[in-house]
Amino acid sequence: MFRRLHASSFAPLASFVAVLAVSLLALGLGRPALAGSWENLDEVIQKRGAIAIGIGYSTPPMNYLDDQGQHAGFDVDLAKALAERMHLRYTVVKVNNKTRITSLSGGETDMVLSNMNRTMSRARQIDFSDTYLLDGKRILAPKGQHRELKDFVGKRIAVCQGSNAQQAVAEALKALGDPSPRIMSFQTDSECFLALKAGKVDGYTNDTVILAGVSGNDPAFEAVGEVYSPTYYGIGLPQNQSAWRYRVNAALRSLVMDGTYQRIYDAWFGPKGRYPLPPASGKLPVWAD
């Protein structure tokens, strides 16, 4: 009734298993490519005593390079304070809108502060800290030419590549009756503003604080109308590393509780700061979201 099975009988099954394993790896369903991805990142970092922080360099006042070529901005000051609070050495890794997420998934960075809005699509790829800054998207335009968002129906709007403003402004304009919004993307926010100044576009959209920083609060331009999409800035973190996420959130909340966050915020966005934010924008308790 039962046959003796020789080793050769298992050959087709072994081949199938091998092919399946390769297929799962190709689909990202098998063992992750990064050797350290199975480790507890928080334990690794504590043993290492240092972290790699991804920070942008072209979006003032959140992050930019100063006259000496050094990183500067609100994100930079907050990153330094977080590293110090966690008693960790740090190195800065330059990232941009295209690389800030891949730097986390690829293991190049342990955390990213780079004017990154917490969105559902990004949350499918990385984890986020609590919100550390609240802002909203508006459209920058020559002063006095537009009054509200619907005035930009049919107009040319500049956005920075990799910014979720591209989808957000398109959806907002479609809701106002624009069947095919004219969205023009540029490599950097600075290029967006230059296109606006040159008359190549009618408006340039991003978060209010970024519009102010990139334009240098140029009095010839103004942010028009209402906020059409809120922004919740979060620190990007590798996925599925809850202990590390908890440590970052604990440090962030500690900075709020002892007034350190307030001092950093006021230096950049307070009433006497470099780029005062309107009352509707700004900081919020990081545990409120």
**What is the per-residue pLDDT across 20-74, written as a single tens digit (0 to 9) for each?**
333 333 333 333 334 345 579 999 999 999 999 999 999 999 999 999 999 999 9
Lookup: tokens for 166: 């591209």
Which homologous superfamily is 136-231 in? Periplasmic binding protein-like II (3.40.190.10)
Report the pLDDT value the prediction gives residue 14, as an integer from 0 to 100. 39
pLDDT of residue 10: 34
245-270 pLDDT, tens per residue? 999 999 999 999 999 999 999 999 99
Q: Determine the pLDDT at residue 226.
A: 87
| 277 exposure class (CB count in 10 Å sphere: 0-12, 13-18, 19+) | buried
- Other Cβ atoms closer than 10 A to 16: 10
**How far is the CA of 199 from the CAs of 37, 158, 193, in angstroms?**
48, 11, 10
Considering the domain 35-135+232-269 in this protein, what is its CATH number? 3.40.190.10
Question: What sign for the dihedral angle of Cα 224, 225, 230, 232?
Answer: positive
Query: What residue spans in the chain does CATH classification 3.40.190.10 cover?
Result: 35-135+232-269, 136-231
Which segments of the chain have a pLDDT < 70? 1-38, 278-289
Q: Which token pair is 20?
A: 């399946």
Query: How much is the pLDDT for 162?
Result: 86
What's the confidence (pLDDT) of residue 104?
97
